[in-house]
Amino acid sequence: MELRYLFAFVLSLGLTLLIMPRLIVRLRALKFGQSISEYSLDQYKEKQGTPNMGGVAFVLVPLIVFNVLFFTEWSLTSFLLNFTYLGYALIGFWDDMKIIKEGKNDGLSARFKFFLQTVLAIIFYFFYQQIASTSITLFSSSITLELGIIYAFLILFMLTGVSNAVNITDGMDGLAGGTVLLALFPFTIFAIVAKEVVVAGFLLSVLGSLLGYLKYNVFPAKIIMGDTGSLPLGALLATAAILLKHELLLIIIGGVFVYETMCVILQIGSVKLRKKRIFKYTPIHYSFVISGWREIRVVQFFWMLGFLFAVIGFLLGMV
């Protein structure tokens, strides 16, 4: 294993732990606090004002660390990782700033946000198809399926879908950060084993920084990531799966996000078609709270689910 891998992880972790207290103080001074929706559960309205946009830390720190340590490995793959991670972070930053300035939990319209995400996905595909095939692997390196132009739509679906799925999951202290951390581990190992130095270095930089952020985000959270953090984390998961040609494994490794998103889709569909709810509340993690679970217990349960999905996906990926 390259020594730079260890440096990337440790340096990102250390820098994030160093700047987080200062970032929290600065965000409080600027009154960049979370705006709680009027539709939120009563017990979550007390989180009003918690410093938002903590994602700034685990976006900027990994970008700096990675590009300093791996500048000699610069390639189109490096560009795609930087472009996607920073691009989706900027969309989230814009959304968070709009919420903070207007004092309402609206932000950018869903349609406009999706448009911006789509533009970035199209640019990603334009460069990606110059360096990789448009085929997918069916859980085994010996079974592939050529998709041609359809692969462009797969990339669009993955980047927009997973980024929004992580955003949906980001509703409790430590929930999104912890589950993304678990999901990134298998892809990091895949990258190291495949000697994909650039991908491994980038993921380890993010893992270190995300771990440092979680120290301040677990219950009771001193800071939350906002869309500034959730959108790039989801986009990075999709990007890692695409670059490592493990697109289908993302369904399993990211099982928590699939579960959260499917519950929301089913709930909306049921309300529109049947005028009835399937679940007590969506995103589904809130249903557990309504059922009497403490927030910490819910987060721990989803972390265990995330760990299980990560292990299953890892084992399938190593076949």
Task: Count other Cβ atoms within 10 Å, centred on residue 38.
Answer: 7
Q: What is the pLDDT of residue 181?
A: 99
Q: What is the pLDDT of residue 141?
A: 64
Q: What is the pLDDT of residue 86?
A: 99
Q: What is the pLDDT of residue 46?
A: 65
Q: What is the pLDDT of residue 43?
A: 64
Please give the structure tokens belonging to residue 98.
């709009």
Alpha carbon distances (Å) from 27 to 35, 51, 173, 211, 247: 14, 6, 18, 20, 37
Q: pLDDT exceeding 70 applies to what percent of the chain?
A: 95
Q: What is the pLDDT of residue 42?
A: 60
Q: What is the pLDDT of residue 259?
A: 98
To the nearest whole number, what is the mean pLDDT of the chain? Answer: 94
Please give the structure tokens belonging to residue 55.
């994602």
The total number of structural domains that make up the chain: 1
Q: What is the pLDDT of residue 103?
A: 76
Q: pLDDT (tens digit, 9 = 90+) per residue, 248-280?
A: 999 999 999 999 999 999 999 999 999 999 999
Q: Is the pLDDT of residue 1 over 60?
A: no
Q: What is the pLDDT of residue 287?
A: 95
Q: What is the pLDDT of residue 299?
A: 98
Q: Which DSSP symbol is given to 51?
A: B
Q: Would you call 148 helix, strand, or coil by DSSP?
A: coil
Q: pLDDT (tens digit, 9 = 90+) per residue, 37-73?
A: 555 666 665 677 799 999 999 999 999 999 999 999 9
Q: pLDDT (tens digit, 9 = 90+) per residue, 227-249?
A: 999 999 999 999 999 999 999 99
Q: pLDDT (tens digit, 9 = 90+) per residue, 98-139?
A: 999 887 778 899 999 999 999 999 999 999 999 999 999 877
Q: Which of 31-40, 175-184, 248-257 has the lowest mean pLDDT?
A: 31-40
**Closest CA relative to residue 177, chosen from 124, 121, 222, 114:** 222
Separation between Cα atoms, residue 180 and residue 147, nearest integer Å: 28
Please give the structure tokens belonging to residue 84.
């996607």
Task: Count other Cβ atoms within 10 Å, centred on residue 46.
Answer: 10
What is the residue range of 209's domain? 3-317
Q: pTM surpassing 0.85? A: yes
Q: pLDDT exceeding 90 applies to what percent of the chain?
A: 87
Task: Count other Cβ atoms within 10 Å, centred on residue 220.
Answer: 11
In Å, how far from its chain's centre is CA 273?
31
